[in-house]
Amino acid sequence: MDLSLLQALEREKVLEVLQRDKTLRSVEEDRIRRLKLELQELRRRGAKSFCRQYSERTCARCQRPLGKFWNSGAVCRGCSHRICSKCRVCVSPHEWKCTVCHAYRDVKIKSGEWFMEERAKKFPRETDKHDTIGEILLRSYQRLSYIAIVPPTPPPVQNVFTPPFNRLSSWKNSKGSPKPFTKSMEDLMMSFTTRIKKISKSQEDVRAEPDLLTVEHGSIDRSQSDTAINISANQVPCFQSLFKRSKEQVQERRRSSSALCGDEDTSQSSGYSGEKRGSSSSTSTDCGLIESSGVTGELELALAYSFSSSCFEVVVGACRNLTHGDTKKKKCHPYVKVYLLPDKSQSTKMKTAVIKNTTDPIFQETLQRSIARELLASRTLQASVWHSETLRRKVFLGEVLIPLDSWRFEDSSTQGLMWYPLCPKTEQPQGGSVEQVAGELLLRVKFSSLTQICKLNSTGIGPYEVGQFTVVIIGVQNLSSSKHTSSFIKGCLALPGEREMVQRTPVVKKGPSPAQAHQLTFSRVTPHELQDASLQLEVWEHAPFSVADKLQGTATLHGGLLWQPLQQAPNVWHSVSLPLRANINNRKP
């Protein structure tokens, strides 16, 4: 179910409704959080710890001593604790519950948890029982709008992961409270675990990496994983590293672990990755080779691009001669995971099913991802093979990196299955003007015709009419190198005939994700010229006390396909997000 079947106006209308629903939902989530906190508070007050055994004969709720013959208390059917007569709530003439069990029941009703549970019974396959259809639609639309055209109103850019996290935090303590868990508390635990599962989208991931759930461990891994991704994003196939061996056992450990972590779900931490990320030079050593198991074998892939549906397709055929993931037991349960680097977000991850017990798995799976053709040129296909075993860390079995900038998707001869040798995690090439992803640039672009007033009826703009091309920089995300510096953005529109137009924004003083809202206007441009134009945007770090400003990253916008929507829908804002590449050579603005 998606919104692509609707007409643009209808879609806008529906999205508006969904937005309203989202507001209502966030109010509701706040309320539920409050309810659960209250419940937790109540339980903590009446918590009977393990060290005070039942022999003491006190009421589990108010801790008052219970007599042997009178006021001896009775066992609550909900939690199996002995409860004095004052801490009971009558549900019916024959039935009562202790205050906590009653409050728990109350929360279950008031929070709508009962509904989620009922629904989960009917649709057990659904990944998240808390998701509403509105939420799913909004999210899928956001993903769609990331690569496609967006209506004039800015799309919601809120973190969809926030609600589950908040819910989790309110439940975290309930796990730790020392309290005998019986029936109703088991229910609590159940809902706690289901919440955890929700964080890592697939349940399989959770089982495979249980230590991800521990807090201390997680925080370290997270920060490392960010760096690992940052670096692995720039890997190029490097065959000689296949034969390299790391010297020190200790270092090897560290590397393999960081590389493993680099593969984990990072979407949650991406929000503040800029803070955690160290300098790239200091972490580049962390991402060396993984030689915990030597990489052997080949991977069969076919790449294609469907121009009609703007869909990138990878056919994962098979693997042969893989190394054993579990070298001791000689076991291997491989699967293939595909990213379009530098994008390593969870939402765009593609992976095959796990094939059990083979080093020559046959997948024959087609993985798809909708992405604009012109964005593909800046991507590198990373297909990595992993060994997956329940309750174990995943083991890296090798990867293939294919830069897509020169891939000829238009040529059908490139679409056949081909064998690629698997490589180890490649070492970070040292020095040089290596392109590095430094963040993301969010833009909105518009082409407006100056003659629009007299031509209201015409749908498009003629190819030779002069118009104005406007770029609004909404923000720079995850800018890695600068912490709290001021920056400005320079835009250079190169038009055919060696015509160049340069514009720059004022200096903005802000943190790693400066929220810019500056406009670059290039006037006297014809749509015809735009066809072959390219826009280079540079993010510069402004150093007030030094002569030279430092270039932090560049992003380029070019290609006929991108300009097309601008022409077809003039005077309308289009959202674009571009990967920012860090350029090592210093240049002057």
Partner 1 sequence: MSQFPERFSAGSTMTDGDYDYLIKLLALGDSGVGKTTFLYRYTDNKFNPKFITTVGIDFREKRVVYTANSPNGTTGKSFKVHLQLWDTAGQERFRSLTTAFFRDAMGFLLMFDLTSQQSFLNVRNWMSQLQANAYCENPDIVLVGNKADLADQREVQEKQAKELADKYGIPYFETSAATGTEVDKAVVTLLDLVMKRMEQCVDKPALDAQNGEGTSKLDAPPVNEKKCAC
- We find the least distance from the C-beta atom of residue 27 to partner 1, in angstroms, to be 5
Going by C-alpha positions, the residue among 534, 525, 502 that lies closest to residue 374 is 534
SS3 at position 329: coil
Task: Please select the residue that binds partner 1; options are 42, 47, 89, 91, rule is CB under 8 A.
Answer: 91
Say whether residue 27 binds partner 1 (CB under 8 A): yes
- We find the least distance from the C-beta atom of residue 271 to partner 1, in angstroms, to be 25
Q: Decide: 274 and 479 in contact? Cβ < 8 Å.
A: yes
Q: How far apart are CA 541 and CA 551, in angstroms?
A: 6
Which string of DSSP letters, residue by residue, matches 499-540? EEEEEEPPPEE-SSS----EEEEEEEE-HHHHHT-EEEEEEE
- We find the least distance from the C-beta atom of residue 92 to partner 1, in angstroms, to be 5
Q: Decide: 13 and 151 in contact? Cβ < 8 Å.
A: no
- Half-sphere exposure (Cβ direction) of 355: Cα atoms closer than 13 Å: 21
Task: Please select the residue that binds partner 1; options are 51, 122, 245, 411, rule is CB under 8 A.
Answer: 122
Q: How many residues bind partner 1 (CB under 8 A)?
A: 49
- We find the least distance from the C-beta atom of residue 47 to partner 1, in angstroms, to be 17
Per CB under 8 A, the segment of 23-31, 163-171, 322-330, 408-416 that binds partner 1 is: 23-31
List, in order, residues 6 or more apart from 347 with CB less than 8 Å away.
143, 267
Q: By C-beta, is 134 or 294 nearer to partner 1?
A: 134
Task: Please select the residue that binds partner 1; options are 19, 21, 148, 241, rule is CB under 8 A.
Answer: 21
Per CB under 8 A, the segment of 38-46, 104-112, 311-319, 543-551 that binds partner 1 is: 104-112
- We find the least distance from the C-beta atom of residue 82 to partner 1, in angstroms, to be 8
Q: How far apart are CA 408 and CA 309, in angstroms?
A: 17
Per CB under 8 A, the segment of 10-18, 367-375, 411-419, 527-535 that binds partner 1 is: 10-18
Interaction mask 136-165, partner 1, x per CB under 8 A:
-x----------------------------
Task: Please select the residue that binds partner 1; options are 37, 41, 64, 72, rule is CB under 8 A.
Answer: 72
Task: Please select the residue that binds partner 1; options are 6, 362, 502, 548, rule is CB under 8 A.
Answer: 6
- We find the least distance from the C-beta atom of residue 158 to partner 1, in angstroms, to be 17
**Helix 99-110 to helix 113-122 angle, to the nearest 10 degrees?**
70
- We find the least distance from the C-beta atom of residue 371 to partner 1, in angstroms, to be 25
Q: By C-beta, is 89 or 402 nearer to partner 1?
A: 89
Q: What does each C-alpha distance from 558 to 154, 242, 561, 564 come to in angstroms? A: 22, 36, 8, 11
Say whether residue 65 binds partner 1 (CB under 8 A): no
Which string of DSSP letters, residue by residue, matches 368-419? EEE--HHHHTT-EEEEEEEE--TTS--EEEEEEEEE-TT--TT-GGGGS-EE
Per CB under 8 A, the segment of 127-135, 141-149, 479-487, 581-589 that binds partner 1 is: 127-135
Residue with tokens 């010297």: 247
Task: Please select the residue that binds partner 1; options are 88, 108, 197, 333, rule is CB under 8 A.
Answer: 108
**Helix 99-110 to helix 183-199 angle, to the nearest 10 degrees?**
40
Angle at 366 between CA 360 and CA 370, to 5 degrees: 145
Per CB under 8 A, the segment of 26-34, 330-338, 361-369, 455-463 that binds partner 1 is: 26-34
Per CB under 8 A, the segment of 6-14, 366-374, 519-527, 536-544 that binds partner 1 is: 6-14
List, in order, residues 6 or more apart from 200 with CB less than 8 Å away.
206, 209, 212, 265
Q: Decide: 425 and 401 in contact? Cβ < 8 Å.
A: no
Angle at 396 between CA 246 and CA 216, to 5 degrees: 85
Strand partners, 313: 304, 368
Q: Compute the Cα dihedral for 225, 230, 233, 237 and give only its sign.
A: negative
Per CB under 8 A, the segment of 116-124, 480-488, 509-517, 525-533 that binds partner 1 is: 116-124
Interaction mask 501-520, partner 1, x per CB under 8 A:
--------------------
Interaction mask 177-216, partner 1, x per CB under 8 A:
-----xx---------------------------------
- Token pair, residue 138, equals 């909004």
Q: How far apart are CA 280 and CA 436, in angstroms?
A: 9
Task: Please select the residue that binds partner 1; options are 4, 86, 114, 309, rule is CB under 8 A.
Answer: 114
Interaction mask 29-58, partner 1, x per CB under 8 A:
-xx--x------------------xxx---
Q: How far apart are CA 280 and CA 72, in angstroms?
A: 67
Task: Please select the residue that binds partner 1; options are 38, 45, 62, 115, rule is CB under 8 A.
Answer: 115
Q: By C-beta, is 69 or 545 nearer to partner 1?
A: 69
**What are the residues binding partner 1 (CB under 8 A)?**
1, 3, 5-6, 10, 13-14, 17, 20-21, 23-24, 27-28, 30-31, 34, 53-55, 69, 72, 75, 77-78, 80, 82, 91-93, 105, 108-110, 112, 114-115, 117-119, 121-123, 132-134, 137, 182-183
